[in-house]
Amino acid sequence: MADKGKTNGAQTHKAMRDASHMPSEDEIRAFMDEAIREAANGLEEGGIPIGSVLVRNHKIIGRGHNRRIQFGDPTAHGEIDCLRATGRLRSYKDTIMFSTLMPCAMCAGAIVQFGIPVIIAGENRTFASSSDFMKSNGVTVIDLDLDECYEMLKGFAQEHPSLWNEDIGVEPE
């Protein structure tokens, strides 16, 4: 699980280990595997393969996947679906969002709005994300740069370019 220079490297991982609510590297992989399962669920439903889980105290408290196509809802991104499934919380300060794709502007806004302090993403290559926005608002942003997350979404984008472009807000030609 190389961070490939996408974060503050060793400093970020050290800070994560020093915080009692931060997962171990094995837990990070296990939680990301759950987000990947959510992405696969979305793909099986005919949707866009992006999945998320929200973690508190080393346990998943919410999960979701992109359901824009399935629900006909432009706001039903994976992170938003995960937050809806989690339900209301008094505070998100000790939670961690895992997502197979680095969040878009809408999802990054929700992360900042609710004070989720850490986002761990499977990849940040597929499109221009809002990682800088989250960082500038105090969110710790970690990109695992996992080929399996990238390949899943890249394959979908190649097979369904109009759906993918719709999802990321690109106007049809």
Q: Which residues are catalytic?
A: 79
CA dist., res. 128 & res. 111, Å (int): 17
Question: Could you give the angle at the alpha carbon of 145 between the alpha carbons of 140 and 150, nearest 5°?
Answer: 125
- Of 52, 54, 47, the C-alpha closest to 74 is 47
CA dist., res. 30 & res. 107, Å (int): 22
Query: Which residues make Cβ contacts (< 8 Å) with residue 118, sequence separation at least 6?
Result: 16, 22, 95, 96, 97, 139, 140, 142
